[in-house]
Amino acid sequence: MIDVFPILRRLLHALPAETAHRVTVRALAMGIAPFARATSRPSLATSVRGLAFPNPIGLAAGFDKNAEAFAASTALGFGFVEVGTVTPRPQLGNPRPRLFRLPEDGAVINRMGFNNDGLDAVATRLARRSVPGIVGANLGRNKDSADAIADYVAGFDRLYGLADYLTINVSSPNTPGLRDLQARERLAPLLGALAGARAKRREGHRPILLKIAPDLLGDEACAIAELALDHGIDGLIIGNTTTARPVTLRGRHRGEAGGLSGRPLFEPSTRLLAAVYRGLAGRLPLIGVGGIGDAEDAYEKIRAGASLVQLYTALVYQGPGLLARILDGLAARLAADGLTTIGQAVGRDAARFGAENPKEGR
């Protein structure tokens, strides 16, 4: 199929960023997006925490906040799709405008503020799943909630039997106080409550992942990882958007408040990923997120220690055809390195990042 995205991109980028995003999600949900499916290769299949992924490339949370287009996204060929962030009660999020393109930087800044339809709406849509594919749910707390732990447990209980895995988001910079939950004295009770909630479930085991900020120091992130292990958490996602603003940014919206994602996040997030991989010595699977824009980026994340990777921002500029290019490129790189499975590449270059400060260059 001819790649029509360059034409669509001109039309979409003529719209405000949030409007263009909404149009894209609705088009996918309605099945009218003219995009071909990317094909996985046997060498890219992998198993993580009992889930069989056809390939390691996932669609990150934030694109399909309300679980409207996960079936269409899976059909495009993603190895897995993560919906949300969803909060117990619907909320409007922060005032608009709150989403900004930085095309010169291959980046986006957002301060959405967990705008979503709430647990009941998302649960209803997930309950209608009728096609195969791995779908995770990203959970958050309401901005005005007095009990963050209760919010996460409510989301966990509501979606446990409906999603294949659940991600605990304590790292968005756009909800006041949310990142404070990464502190040990607040994170330990939260993880303990979630472990207790899972112990009461009779359904099959659902992995719990913890999504952390890329702005942590390596030692801080490793301490969180050890705490996660102590409470039976199944993996870490490294990481969310960053509050840092590299001096190299050129886009006219570079001064906007919010979380920065895209190309500038690749190096710092990958250094932090490698630091955690080394610290854990393979005891916990990691998902690498931040700045992936081609097959080389995805392969570097994997070789730095990621069992799986996720992307989103690069799709804004390159469209869904990017997925096929990454899958083809990954298969070619595996073959060139004499490897037969993607799992054999995980962590092979983690030591290369050993002498670097995870916060350097931000």
* Residue 45 Cα distances to 56, 199, 325, angstroms: 7, 30, 16
Is 171 catalytic? The answer is no
Taking each helix axis from N to C terminus, what angle separates 5-12 and 17-29, rounded to the nearest 10 degrees?
130
Q: Please identify which residue in the block is written with the tokens 């801080």.
A: 220
Quick one: which of 326, 333, 308, 291 has its CA closest to 82? 308
Distance in angstroms (rounded) separating the CA atoms of residues 247 and 56: 32
Count Cβ atoms within 10 A of the Cβ of residue 189 and give its class: 0-12 exposed, 13-18 middle, 19 or more buried.
Answer: middle
Distance in angstroms (rounded) separating the CA atoms of residues 320 and 83: 17
Distance in angstroms (rounded) separating the CA atoms of residues 59 and 311: 5
Please say whether the dihedral angle defined by the alpha carbons of residues 176, 179, 180 and 186, taken in this order, is positive or negative. Answer: positive
Q: Please identify which residue in the block is written with the tokens 């287009």.
A: 69
Active-site residue among 40, 43, 73, 172? 172
Dmax over CA atoms of the chain, in Å, equals 54
Catalytic residue numbers read 172
